[in-house]
Amino acid sequence: MTKTEMDIRLTKIFSAAAIAQATPDKRAVCRQLKQFDREARAQGLFALAGEASQMRWQLVAELQQTRAAEVSHGSV
């Protein structure tokens, strides 16, 4: 894939991340971002890989906060 194609793909994943509200959806986006990160690094597109990694860790933090809130309220 070219850099432009990878950039477009990352934009689509970011859009999915913005829309994702349910926990399973966020986890699915995290998996997509992790895969994208691997592929971008393999192609030497380190800036795009860094953006994907940063977004992934933001989603992971959101998931951890949600989990902590559920545990503290006895939902789990």
Q: How do residues 23-57 score in pLDDT, each as one tens digit?
A: 999 999 999 999 999 999 999 999 999 999 999 99
Q: Write down the mean pLDDT value for the chain.
A: 93
CA-to-CA distance for 76 and 68, rounded, in angstroms?
Answer: 10
Q: Looking at the domain assignment, is residue 37 inside a domain?
A: yes
Residue % of the chain over a pLDDT of 70: 97
Q: Looking at the domain assignment, is residue 71 inside a domain?
A: yes
Q: Looking at the domain assignment, is residue 69 inside a domain?
A: yes
Q: Looking at the domain assignment, is residue 36 inside a domain?
A: yes
Task: Please give the tally of structural domains in the chain.
Answer: 1
pLDDT at 69: 82
- Domain holding 68, by residue range, is 24-76
Residue 75's contacts (CB-CB under 8 Å, 6 or more residues apart) are none
Average pLDDT over every residue of 8-31: 95
Name the H helices within 1-76. Answer: 3-19, 23-42, 46-72
Q: Looking at the domain assignment, is residue 2 inside a domain?
A: no
